[in-house]
Amino acid sequence: MQILKGDLIEWEVRGLTGEMAVRGLDFRVERCRVTQDTFITRQTMRIAPVGVRVGDHVEVVGDYRLGPSTCTAVTVYVRPPEVPRRVGHLPPLPRLTASSVLDSWWSRGNLTFSGVVRGLEDKRMLLRTRSRGEKWFAVREDTVFNDSGRLVKAGALEVYTRVFVRASLGIDGVLEARQIVWGEIFSPK
């Protein structure tokens, strides 16, 4: 297996099979076959081959088991174009709140808490738990808020609401709320 990153310069896929060519960051051109088993995704959503265009920036996981010059695309990730780096400058820091392909591979929010909201500040929430005392959570831009199973905006959460929180530890060790759920659970009739 090998990962190819670059711009798609040729996309000759009819139906579910065909060929593609990718110009890598080193300007070398690699050709790969696309089969009906090739998984094609854009922004973590699976798409059909007709959703791919010449000029898209792609990351291809290629299988070279048939030979060093025979590539079969296993997975094609259609990504936003990368910003070129300026010579002599440091590369920009990655956005920590942006969703990534890796988010679907590793669990986000592997810590769970329940309790009563004691305080709400700008991008922070104080939760009073029964067994762990008071905990502060950073509220991210991509935090999901659910009230009785409905997706709501952050402003719908009020102080003294009993909530369930799925969270994770951030890079700096701060608890980050990934999902905040409250409301009633309805039984089917």
What is the per-residue pLDDT across 27-73, written as a single tens digit (0 to 9) for each? 888 889 999 989 999 887 888 888 888 889 998 888 877 766 778 89
What is the per-residue pLDDT across 81-117, written as a single tens digit (0 to 9) for each? 655 555 555 555 444 444 444 444 444 667 899 999 9
How many Å separate Cα 183 from the centre of its chain? 27
Angle 39-43-46 (CA atoms, 0-180°, nearest 5)? 30
* DSSP assigned state of 47: -
Fold of 2-79: OB fold (Dihydrolipoamide Acetyltransferase, E2P) (2.40.50)
Asked, colleague to colleague, whether 2-79 and 111-182 share their fold, the answer is: yes
pLDDT of res. 82: 57
pTM of the complete model: 0.44
CATH 2.40.50.140 for domain 111-182: yes
Which runs of E-coded beta strand occur in 43-174? 45-46, 57-63, 72-79, 111-121, 124-129, 133-147, 150-152, 162-169
Q: Where are the domains of the chain?
A: 2-79, 111-182
